[in-house]
């Protein structure tokens, strides 16, 4: 039995944050019914066509779900929503601020009717406060949370290459829902969860916030290098390939000097004899490291780093990750079905292939509408009528 088997989740979701949240629930066995707009659906379906004509964001965040199309501006469709919610455990939404209130589907209205229902609202800034109605996309929250101010190179801020603010909010939605399900098992009562992308990202920014507390300077923008530990980041070898390495303590610094760059005298050099001094003199130390690496290939540098027990990594591109030998050795890849056929998918982290994760299909728009309406007791003539009116 999967951990969330028997749990029913109804969603009004689009883009990434809420779909990423509910996909985690689906992976654990929950039944996730995704309500989409007729004709167009979740707009993330049309971000690109990279996966055999399907959108990369959509196939990532929507496997194992059922898609129902409803025009919730019509009363017939709202009736269907309430039939779905009648035995639901969780309702998740990330519509525009105020949308669920206008539909009578906000927590106050729903909790009175369904006291065991857990309602999770995911938004940019939260359901109150002066920024409540402000539009929020991933890049904008990366900026508002201060993430851009410490990321990139000096005077050249850079965004994260994936939807980090959406992912943060989605994961906090997911973990809070799991906690609410545990709480309900003791109290019998539902719960309201209000997750904001801003608060999720600011939590992840806590180290640089504390580093800059009381008006102190923030971590520098140092590209792919660590802002406050050095050497820690990318260094080119003599063959032009890049090696990523990281030192954490003085024992590793000594090993690095003796075994990797083979300049033991640098260990006691007054410019480099503590991490703070190495950060202060990072330009001079960078030159010395690059000079030492110039006569070696990246493979030889990594061999020495391994010998010295210094953490290191390859600078992989996407194709290298698809073919990563560690993921292959641990059998982390499987396949799922989609409207475009079979596509590869990564097992959820922490879930073993033997755990039988629910690696279900990515749904076509409205694929399950008729079946779910029949399940709810609607007759064929009634379903046909709803199609004719555009309610579904």
Q: DSSP letters of 347-377?
A: PPTT--GGG-----PPPPTTTTHHHHHHHTT
- Structure-token pair, residue 369: 């509408």
Quick one: average pLDDT of 345-363? 91
Asked if 208 and 150 count as a contact pair (C-beta separation under 8 A), the reply is: yes
Give residue 257's pLDDT: 97
State how far the Cα of 377 lies from the Cα of 62, in Å rounded to an integer: 26
d(Cα 268, Cα 209) in Å, to the nearest integer?
32
162 vs 166: CA distance, rounded Å: 9
8 A C-beta contact, residue 259 and residue 304: yes
Q: Give residue-wise pLDDT tens across range 244-261.
A: 999 999 999 999 999 999
In tens, the pLDDT along 201-230 reads 999 999 999 999 999 999 988 888 998 999
| Helices 197-204 and 164-187: angle between axes, nearest 10 degrees | 100
β-strands 242-246, 232-236: how paired? Answer: antiparallel
Region 132-161 average pLDDT: 93
* Nearest-angstrom CA–CA distance, 275 and 228: 8
DSSP reduced 3-state for 372: helix
* Position 159 confidence tier, pLDDT thresholds 50, 70, 90: very high
Q: Could you state, in order of their start, the residue ranges of all structural domains in the chain? A: 8-204+349-389, 232-315
| Confidence at residue 352, expressed as pLDDT on a 0 to 100 scale | 86
Helical packing angle, 164-187 and 17-27, nearest 10°: 50
* Domain covering 232-315: architecture: 2-Layer Sandwich (3.30)
**pLDDT-derived band at 307, boundaries 50, 70, 90:** very high
- 126 dihedral zone (left: phi>0; alpha: psi -120 to 50; beta): left
Confidence band, pLDDT 50/70/90 cuts, at residue 354: confident
Q: What is the largest CA-CA distance in the chain?
A: 86
Say whether pLDDT at 319 is over 90.
yes
* Closest listed residue to residue 156, CA positions, set 64, 88, 233, 224: 224
Contact yes or no for 238/296 (Cβ under 8 A): yes
Q: Is the pLDDT of residue 155 over 90?
A: no
C-alpha 364/C-alpha 349 separation (Å) is 26
The answer to whether 137 touches 212, Cβ cutoff 8 Å, is no
The hierarchical CATH code for the domain 8-204+349-389 is 3.40.50.10540
DSSP per position, 89-111? SEEEE--STTHHHHTT-SHHHHH
Q: For residue 148, is pLDDT > 90?
A: yes
pTM of the complete model: 0.91
For 25-42, how does the pLDDT look when each residue is reduced to its tens digit (9 = 90+)?
A: 999 999 999 999 999 999
DSSP single-letter state for residue 222:
B
Mean pLDDT confidence for 171-182: 98
Tell me the per-residue pLDDT of 36-59, one tens digit each, with 9 for 90 and over: 999 999 999 999 999 999 999 999
In the chain, beta strands by DSSP E: 8-12, 31-36, 65-69, 90-93, 118-123, 152-153, 156-157, 191-196, 232-236, 242-246, 311-314, 333-336, 343-346
Give the pLDDT score at 154: 86
218, 228 contact by CB (below 8 A): no
User: What's the CA gap between 10 and 210, in Å, rounded?
Assistant: 39
**What pLDDT score was predicted for residue 355?**
85
Average pLDDT for residues 308-317, to the nearest whole number? 93
What burial class does residue 32 get, using C-beta atoms within 10 Å of its C-beta: 0-12 exposed, 13-18 middle, 19+ buried?
Answer: buried
Q: State yes or no: pLDDT of 373 exceeds 90.
A: yes
Sorting pLDDT into bands at 50, 70 and 90, what band is 356?
confident
On the question of pLDDT at 84 being above 90, the answer is yes
107-127 per-position pLDDT tens digit: 999 999 999 999 999 999 999
On whether the CB atoms of residues 312 and 305 are closer than 8 A, the answer is: yes
CA 332/CA 255 separation, integer angstroms: 34
Residue 68 — pLDDT band, cuts 50, 70, 90?
Answer: very high
Helix (H) or strand (E) holding 250: helix 250-255
């Amino acid at each position: 039995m999967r951990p969330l088997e028997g749990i029913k989740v109804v969603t009004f979701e689009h883009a990434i944050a809420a779909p990423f949240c509910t996909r985690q629930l689906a992976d654990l066995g929950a039944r996730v019914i995704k309500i989409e707009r007729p004709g167009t659906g979740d707009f993330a379906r049309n971000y690109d066509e990279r996966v055999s004509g399907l959108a990369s964001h959509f196939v990532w965040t929507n496997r194992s779900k059922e898609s129902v199309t409803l025009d919730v501006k019509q009363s017939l469709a709202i009736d269907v929503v309430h039939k779905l919610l009648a035995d639901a455990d969780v309702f998740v939404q990330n519509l525009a601020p105020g949308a669920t209130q206008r539909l009578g589907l906000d927590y106050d209205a729903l909790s009175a009717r369904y006291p065991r229902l857990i309602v999770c609202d995911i938004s940019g800034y939260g359901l109150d406060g002066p920024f409540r109605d402000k539009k929020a996309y991933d890049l904008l929250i990366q900026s508002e949370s201060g993430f851009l101010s410490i990321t990139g190179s000096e005077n050249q801020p850079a965004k994260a290459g994936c939807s980090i603010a959406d992912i943060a909010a989605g994961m906090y939605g997911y973990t809070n829902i799991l906690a609410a399900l545990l709480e309900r098992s003791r109290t019998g009562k539902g719960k309201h969860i209000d997750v904001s992308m801003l608060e999720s990202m600011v939590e992840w920014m806590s180290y640089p916030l504390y580093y800059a507390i009381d008006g102190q300077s923030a971590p520098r923008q140092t590209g792919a290098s660590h802002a406050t530990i050095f050497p820690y980041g990318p260094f080119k070898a003599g063959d032009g390939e890049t090696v990523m390495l990281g030192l954490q303590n003085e024992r590793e610094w000594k090993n690095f000097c003796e075994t990797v760059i083979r300049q033991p005298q640098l260990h006691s050099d007054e410019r480099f004899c503590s991490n703070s001094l190495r950060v202060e003199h990072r330009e001079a130390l960078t030159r010395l490291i690059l000079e030492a690496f110039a006569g070696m290939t990246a493979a030889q540098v990594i061999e020495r780093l391994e010998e010295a027990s210094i953490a290191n990594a390859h600078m992989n591109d996407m194709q290298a990750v698809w073919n990563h030998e560690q993921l292959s050795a641990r059998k982390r890849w499987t396949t799922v079905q989609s409207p475009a056929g079979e596509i590869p998918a990564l097992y959820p982290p922490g879930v073993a292939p033997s755990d039988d994760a629910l690696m279900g299909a990515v749904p076509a728009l409205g694929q399950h509408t008729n079946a779910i309406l029949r399940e709810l007791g609607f007759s064929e003539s009634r379903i046909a009528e709803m199609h004719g009116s555009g309610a579904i």
